[in-house]
Structure 1
Amino acid sequence: MPKPLKFLENLMRPFRRRRDREAEEDLEAIAAKEQKVFRYETLAAATRGFSPKQKLGEGGFGPVYKGRLEDGREVAVKRLGMGSRQGAKEFTNEAMLLSRVQHKNVVNLYGYCTHGNDKLLVYEYVPNESLDKLLFAEPEGPRRAELDWRRRYEVVVGVARGLLYLHEDAHTPIIHRDIKASNVLLDDRWAPKIADFGMARLFPEGLTHVNTRVAGTNGYMAPEYLMHGALSTKADVFSFGVLLLELVSGRKNSSFIPLADADADTLLEWAWKLHRKGQSLDLMDPALRTTAVPEQVKMCVHVGLLCTQADPKLRPDMKRVVVILSKKPSTLEDPTRPGVPGSRYRRRALGPGGSRYSGESSSSMTSPSASASASISTVASSSNANNTATISRTSARSHSQPSHQRK
């Protein structure tokens, strides 16, 4: 390290330590005030001494164990791996954000524990698998069949309501930053719960966006965020739109294999071209043939495309999305070309359908490389990997991605 940089690093170190210490003290104060502090002995007993037989999975943060408290509640205990500095920051971030969040479509944090070098978060146990385990299962397999259209539509509505709560009704607005199928857990009634808040950010009211380090998953990040670090609630809207199109098609956007006659390199582009031809139903997962409601499928494709438009100003907010999904299909504006990594948008004169913006491909921009990142759900194993990219504005670097109950 050059001497000037080393000197600056040494100069900043005490301030960083103090900041980290203050964050932990704030977390403990919140937990104590809300009676969310657990004794280490209680959690050790609940997990049978953190027995390997109780282990649900392991990822970037460390292992997650299933446990049962003395009052009968089943829990998932996330235990921070030793020596994980980056993980410690995200671990604390997740605890501080979730400590004041209460919504049926957001995973419930029961409490927090510190014991020496051990840091543990205690969540409700969500018995069914994460959404990706079913949605991207073998096309003709029994697991895919469990996720019929009614359940998929309930997932769409539930995730939309959870995001609306985070964006508008939480104590301070929260941007999740990593909405994807593997971060949606399904409870015993198949209700969706948004999980993994390790990268979430508070978003003070009155701001249009904040500039920040880019972190998220390849295939789900909005172009303005990926390219410029401009973060707003519309970045979550974009990710939700991708998830919605994945639920309809049963295909993963980040690993989309172009069809021979589709003339599209991404799921979003394929959906847009089918929509323009009036053939949205051709996007539908074949597993849904016997259970799908055609009008709902078409509406979901339309909403997904509105949410993934290149220009964030054209995307609806989550309040409007929830309203659309909760009512009978109505006339919606035509979506413009979806945004993809490496694309930009520009103003133009009014086009067909009153559109003022169009997507414009930019050959000089390239999408970042993705790193394999383990995700853990209540029933997932350490072999479950997701392509996750953590990108700075000037370079891409690997980053282990945490995921509640899948870590």
Structure 2
Amino acid sequence: MIGYCYEIAHKDVEYQGKLVWSQVIDRALCFEYMKGGSLAKHISAESCIHNWPITYKIIKGTCEGLHHLHKGGEKKIFHLDLKPDNVLLDEELVPKIGDFGLSELFGSSYTHQQSSTKGTIGFMPQEYIHNRKVSPKNDVFSLGVIIFHIMAGEKGYSDYWDARRRPNFSPKIQHKFIESVQEYWKKKMETMEGYRWDETDLLGVTRCIDMAMRCVEDDRDKRPYIKDIINELNKLDSEVSEMLKKDPKPPIGQLKRKNRVNDLEAVKQNKSFKYLGKDIVVDPSQELCFPFESNKNTLVENRALVQAGS
């Protein structure tokens, strides 16, 4: 919230058979305009619609927002209804957490119990659904579901959740699921023109899906605190930074431009068009010269026709 404004009006109202001079206050809350809309609009049935660097930016930004709520001051804030609809993105796709209609303020004690259950089905942990217990781990569970939706879509999370409920669930099955997510993102990014998928991307995808799995553990004691998640992501950023120092990756925009220049070189070398990209884009920095020469015989014939017609 950016701020608020209010207007006071005075009027007579009836109270216990008498007219009473009262103040009527109308308030309006002012919120930041989030041009990107809710995160839900950026998630398809399979994953986040953006490339991996932007997707990771959204994941980490959401984690940082939740960390800000949980660390608080004297009072810590538990959101209790964290879901993609309540994560808003600005013009630069920076996420911010909104809609605190169900949020609660708590003191130093980390575990509380509510008289009734409120929230969104699918984003609430078992201890809250059955016993109405409230702790920071409630929001961590919801965060894990959000990350699952971002990385594997709602169906991917549903498939994983069903597998977890089967008697034969094992670390091997869990590892296969991680591999399937890795392969999905690898194929998705390789379809992007000029993008170079490498070990830094693979590391990020692996850490994030593993983190999501730990966040949705049935036993809340096995779930990490949000401060631990932030530490993990900061460590990941440091590792990726060191890896890129040894093998720098050009920005996506430069990679696209380089790929288009290669396509133009292929044209100059008279290579078959079937080996080029899906669409040929003329780079403004390249000057195309076509050595076409007018057909002299055709010009002579045209002149003869003109003279005959005149």
TM-score calculated relative to the size of structure 1: 0.46
Find the aligned partners of 2:139 and 2:181 in 1 and give their Cα distance.
23
Q: Residue 242 of structure 1 contacts residue 268 of structure 1 at CA under 8 Å; is this kept in 2? A: no
Change (3 A) 1:288 1:131: farther
Residue 180 of structure 1 deviates from its aligned partner by 0.8
Output one character per residue of 1:232-269: Cα deviation in whole Å (capped at 9) or x when no partner: 11100111111111111133678x4x5xxxxx564876
Identity percentage of aligned residues: 28
The farther-off stretch of 215-224 and 167-176 is 167-176
Aligned position for 2:112: 209
**Aligned ranges for residues 293-304 of structure 1 at < 5 Å?**
293-304=201-212
1:163 to 49, 52, 66: 66
1:153 aligned to 45, 52, 56, which one?
A: 56
Q: Paired residue for 2:227, among 319, 326, 349?
A: 319
- 1:3-402 mapped onto 2 (5 Å cutoff): 36-40=3-7, 116=24, 119-136=27-44, 145=49, 147-251=50-154, 256=158, 258=159, 266=162, 276-283=174-181, 288-290=188-190, 293-328=201-236
Is 1:274–1:280's contact at 8 Å kept on the other side of the alignment?
no
How far apart are 1:315 and its partner, in Å? Answer: 1.0
1:307 CA drift (Å):
1.0
Which stretch of structure 1 is more off in the superposition, 159-168 or 316-325? 159-168
User: Tell me, what secondary structure is at the counterpart of 1:185?
Assistant: strand
Contact 1:295 1:329 in 2 (8 A): no
Instruction: Name the CA distance, whole Å, in 2 between partners of 1:198 and 1:36.
Output: 17
| Residue deviations 1:375-398 (CA, integer Å, cap 9, x gap) | xxxxxxxxxxxxxxxxxxxxxxxx
Q: Displacement, 1:119?
A: 4.8
Task: Provide structure 2 residue ranges, at least 5 long, that are not aligned to the other structure.
Answer: 9-22, 239-310
Match of residue 305 from structure 2: none
- Paired with 1:253 and 1:212, the residues of 2 have a C-alpha distance of 33
Deviation at residue 217 of structure 1 after TM alignment: 0.7
Match of 1:81 in 2: none
Distance 1:275 1:218, change over 3 A: same
Specify the SS of the correspondent of 1:38: strand
Structure 2 length as normaliser, TM-score? 0.59
Change (3 A) 1:253 1:202: farther
* 1:296 aligned partner, one-letter code: G
* Secondary structure at the counterpart of residue 213 of structure 1: coil
Paired AA for residue 113 in structure 2: V
Post-superposition Cα deviations, 1:303-336, rounded to whole Å, max 9, x if no partner, equal 1111111111121100001001111399xxxxxx
**Residues 295/194 of structure 1: CA separation in 2 closer, same or farther (3 Å cut):** same
Alpha-carbon shift at residue 171 of structure 1 (Å): 4.6
Q: Taking structure 1 as reference, are residues 267 and 124 closer, same or farther at Cα in structure 2, changes over 3 Å only?
A: farther
Q: Deviation at 1:230?
A: 0.4
Q: Deviations over 1:265-318 (max 9, x none)?
A: 648769986763345131355574436611111111111111111111121100
Q: Using the alignment, how far apart are the partners of 1:159 and 1:212 within structure 2?
A: 29
1:170: Cα distance to partner? Answer: 4.0
Hey, what's the Cα distance between the residues in 1 that align with 2:174 and 2:164?
Answer: 12
| Structure with more of its chain in helix, by fraction | 2
**Any idea what SS the aligned residue of 1:158 has?**
helix
Shift in alpha-carbon separation, 1:39–1:220, aligned structure 2, 3 A:
same
**Cα pair distance change 1:190/1:171, threshold 3 Å:** farther
Distance (whole Å) between structure 1 residues aligned to residue 148 and residue 165 of structure 2: 11
Contact kept? 2:144, 2:213, Cα under 8 Å: yes
Specify the SS of the correspondent of 1:316.
coil
SS at structure 2 position matched to 1:124? coil
Per the TM alignment, residue 129 of structure 1 is displaced from its structure 2 partner at its CA by: 1.7
Q: Contact conserved, 1:253 with 1:267, CA < 8 A, in 2? A: no
Render the CA deviation track for 1:20-60: whole Å, top value 9, x for unaligned.
xxxxxxxxxxx9xxx9441459xxxxxxxxxxxxxxxxxxx
Displacement of 1:191 in angstroms is: 0.6
Mapped to 2, the partners of 1:268 and 1:119 lie a distance apart of 48
- Amino acid of the residue matched to residue 307 of structure 1? C
User: CA, structure 1 residues 301+36, in 2 after alignment: closer, same or farther (shift >3 Å)?
Assistant: closer
User: Is contact 2:4-2:29 (8 Å) kept?
Assistant: no
Structure 2 distance, partners of 1:208, 1:154, is 31
Given the superposition, is the C-alpha separation of residues 329 and 234 from structure 1 closer, same or farther in structure 2, using an over 3 Å criterion?
A: same
Amino acid at match of 1:158: G
What is the CA–CA distance in structure 1 between the aligned matches of 2:152 and 2:131, rounded to whole Å? Answer: 30
Count how many residue pairs are aligned between Structure 1 and Structure 2: 212
What 5-or-longer segments of structure 1 have no aligned partner?
Answer: 1-30, 42-114, 259-263, 331-407
